[in-house]
């Protein structure tokens, strides 16, 4: 669990950094930058991503200000990062647990005051979102995609 905790804390330490700082600190090449990116309800963003440098996708507003860090299936590289470990590290009950877009049997656990949300099933984390601490309403408006509002694709 110590390694999972250290990994999670290292991701939290990147929260709030500007696009310029992330590019410099993690040495992303210019090809890792995508303009006019979108994340749920946020459009016109910059996204930085190169899986060979860092497992996260970093999102920034038009001025290069921090918006969100997104990690998909973190257990692929960090198998000890389980839902139980995340709950233990966050140290309190989630402010909300909503249906997740990741899978029918997953819930999205939101800790808005800590700036963290994650989607998980029984023993698998499907994604982690790291953002600036906010209200539950603001999180819902910006980052939550309600799967019950999506059409049936089957």
pTM over 0.85: yes
- What is the Cα–Cα distance from 150 to 42, expressed in whole angstroms? 17
Instruction: Look at residue 34 in the predicted model and tell me its pLDDT.
Output: 98
The span from the CA of 69 to the CA of 112, in Å, is 14
Give residue-wise pLDDT tens across range 12-56.
999 999 999 999 999 999 999 999 999 999 999 999 999 999 999
Sequence spans of domains, the chain: 2-146
């Amino acid at each position: 669990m110590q390694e999972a905790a250290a990994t999670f804390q290292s991701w939290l330490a990147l929260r709030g950094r500007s696009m310029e700082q992330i590019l410099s600190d993690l040495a992303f090449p210019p090809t890792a930058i995508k303009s006019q990116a979108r994340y749920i309800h946020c459009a016109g963003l910059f996204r930085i991503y190169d899986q060979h440098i860092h497992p996260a996708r970093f999102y920034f507003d038009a001025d290069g200000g921090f918006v969100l860090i997104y990690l998909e299936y973190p257990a692929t590289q960090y198998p000890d990062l389980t839902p139980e470990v995340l709950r233990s590290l966050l140290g309190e009950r989630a402010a909300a647990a909503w249906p997740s877009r990741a899978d029918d049997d997953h819930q999205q656990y939101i800790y808005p005051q800590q700036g963290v949300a994650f989607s998980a099933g029984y023993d698998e984390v499907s994604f982690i979102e790291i953002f600036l601490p906010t209200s539950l309403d603001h999180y819902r408006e910006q980052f939550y995609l309600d799967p019950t509002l999506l059409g049936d694709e089957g």
